[in-house]
């Protein structure tokens, strides 16, 4: 039996001012083709189906279209919620969907949903664990000691009656780490996920899932295994941030023959428009000899020493989908060396702004620009109305 593992669709996401719905439709159509080519029996969707808790109309239409195509091919679909999803919204209509072999687990109700698939004489158990927090689990098991995420998931598993003699698959959306090694982040995950901010509070050790033959994870956007090959993040279906520019996206195809007989194959995904980071001076970057794939999403770092007026407008004449432009030169290097803790000592706000402007752009700020900055500072509460 073959399973396709997806996660972190983030339907409805944008890159800067650019709507990615068409790009997401393109990649989901490609995934449908992979399902056909691989003759997959089921799809595992490991959360963060939508990019926000209140998804756009276009995002809900796209999910409806994708699920309808899976249902029309009699593909069994197992979908859980992630931390970006609204549990109630994703769960809406789940009972009706089951008649079309679409199984949704968006709300943890004290037990993991379990579905049994037949593979000849053998059974494959698919367990579904939507994104949970310690407080969710403690509500159902107040007598258990639950101090962190790992405790919470351990309690969930202990109350799930998992038969180790059967082939077991888990679909989950959590921050799972190896022994002493954190998963490599793609960059567009929640700041709360980052290990330097979280410490050990949100981490779950991969060995918690030893009873499962395959663990289909969502939450981390970079495709990778954790601890062992069969505990795996599929990664997001598209590059959703600058730090993912170097990532190659793929879809794990999981072939299960029997207990402990699991084969994993990664099928590459090719986006309609890639996301790239280019760096250099503007003249060189926009020289026709150096321009390629102009419709890609572009993050540009300019090394020109002088600030270029309307750089974005100039860039978008060549690369219309330029998302962001920043600078890397002697001025930015000087800023990096500044001790931020002492820069504001005994200096009024206008002087700070003036000094900063001169450091970055090499010239004095105009009165008009200063007025704009002062107005913005008052509105933000940085300075009071009297200043």
Contact 21, 187 (CB under 8 A): no
Contact 173, 216 (CB under 8 A): no
Angle (deg, nearest 10), helices 367-380 and 349-361: 120
pLDDT given for residue 171 in this prediction: 97
pLDDT given for residue 4 in this prediction: 97
- Listed residue (240, 238, 261) closest to 250, CA to CA: 238
Please return the burial class of 386, using the count of CB atoms within 10 Å of its CB with bins 0-12, 13-18 and 19+: exposed
DSSP readout, 27-94? HHHHHHHHHHHHT-SEEEEES--BSSSS--HHHHHHHHHHHHHHHHTT-EEEEE--TTS-HHHHHTTH
- Listed residue (218, 237, 277) closest to 23, CA to CA: 237
pLDDT given for residue 69 in this prediction: 95
What letter would DSSP give residue 163?
A: -
Secondary structure of 196-260 as H, E, C letters? HHHCCCCEEEHHHHCCCCEEEEECCCCCEEECEEEEEECCCCCCCCHHHCCCCCEEEEEEEEECC
As a whole number of angstroms, the distance between CA 202 and CA 216 comes to: 18
> Looking up tokens 């321009």, which residue turns up?
291
pLDDT given for residue 253 in this prediction: 97
As a whole number of angstroms, the distance between CA 331 and CA 358 comes to: 9
Say which CATH superfamily domain 2-268 falls into: Metallo-dependent phosphatases (3.60.21.10)
pLDDT given for residue 196 in this prediction: 37
Domain with CATH 3.60.21.10 in the chain: 2-268
Q: What angle do CA 187, 190, 191 make, to 5 degrees?
A: 80
Residue 280, SS3 per DSSP: strand
pTM, rounded to two decimals: 0.80
pLDDT given for residue 344 in this prediction: 62
Digit-by-digit pLDDT tens for the chain (387 residues) are 999 999 999 999 999 889 999 999 999 999 999 999 999 999 999 989 999 888 899 999 999 999 999 999 999 999 998 887 776 667 665 666 787 889 998 888 898 999 999 877 778 999 999 988 888 899 999 999 988 888 999 999 999 989 888 899 999 998 888 665 566 666 555 444 444 333 344 778 899 999 999 999 998 999 999 989 999 999 999 999 998 998 899 999 999 987 778 999 999 999 999 999 999 999 999 999 999 999 999 999 999 988 888 999 999 999 999 999 998 887 766 656 555 556 566 678 888 888 877 766 667 888 888 888 888 887 776 776 655
For 127, 186, 191, 324, 363, the CA distances from 359, given in Å and listed in that order, are: 57, 32, 30, 21, 8
Angle (deg, nearest 10), helices 57-72 and 21-38: 10
Cβ neighbours of residue 15 closer than 8 Å, sequence gap 6 or more: 240, 275, 297, 323
Contact 264, 228 (CB under 8 A): no
Element (H, E) at 14: strand 14-15
Give the other-Cβ count within 10 Å of 20's Cβ: 23
- Residues present in the chain in total: 387
């Amino acid at each position: 039996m073959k399973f396709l593992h997806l996660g972190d669709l983030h339907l409805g996401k944008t890159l800067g001012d650019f709507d990615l719905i068409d790009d997401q439709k393109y990649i989901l159509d490609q995934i449908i083709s992979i399902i056909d080519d691989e003759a997959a029996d089921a799809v595992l969707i490991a959360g963060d189906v939508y990019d926000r808790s209140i998804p756009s109309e276009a995002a809900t239409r796209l999910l409806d279209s994708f699920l309808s195509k899976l249902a029309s091919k009699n593909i069994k679909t197992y979908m859980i919620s992630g931390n970006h999803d609204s549990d109630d919204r994703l769960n809406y209509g789940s009972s009706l969907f089951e008649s079309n072999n679409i199984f949704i687990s968006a709300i943890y109700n004290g037990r993991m949903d379990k579905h049994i698939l037949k593979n000849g004489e053998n059974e494959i158990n698919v367990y579904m664990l939507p994104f949970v927090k310690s407080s969710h689990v403690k509500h159902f098991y107040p007598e258990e000691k639950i101090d962190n995420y790992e405790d919470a998931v351990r309690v969930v598993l202990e109350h799930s009656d998992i038969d180790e003699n059967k082939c077991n698959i888990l679909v989950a959306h959590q921050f799972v780490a190896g022994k002493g090694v954190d998963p490599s982040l793609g960059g567009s995950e929640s700041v709360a996920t980052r290990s330097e901010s979280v410490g050990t509070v949100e981490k779950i050790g991969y060995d918690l899932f030893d009873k499962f033959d395959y663990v289909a994870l969502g939450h981390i956007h970079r495709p990778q295994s954790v601890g062992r090959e069969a505990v795996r993040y599929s990664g997001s279906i598209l590059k959703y941030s600058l730090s993912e520019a170097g990532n190659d996206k793929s879809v794990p195809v999981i072939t299960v023959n029997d207990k402990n007989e699991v084969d994993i194959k990664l099928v590459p995904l090719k986006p309609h428009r890639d996301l790239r980071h280019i760096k250099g001076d503007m003249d060189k970057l926009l020289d026709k000899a150096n321009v390629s794939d102009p419709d890609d999403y572009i993050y540009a770092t300019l090394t020109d020493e002088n600030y270029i007026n309307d750089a974005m407008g100039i860039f978008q004449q060549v690369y219309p989908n330029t998302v962001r432009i920043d600078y890397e030169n002697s001025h930015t290097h000087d800023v990096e060396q500044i001790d931020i803790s002492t820069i504001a000592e005994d200096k009024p706000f206008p002087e700070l702004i003036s000094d900063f402007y001169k450091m970055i752009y090499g010239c004095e700020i105009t009165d008009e620009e200063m007025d704009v900055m002062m107005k913005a500072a008052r509105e933000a509460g940085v300075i009071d109305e009297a200043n």
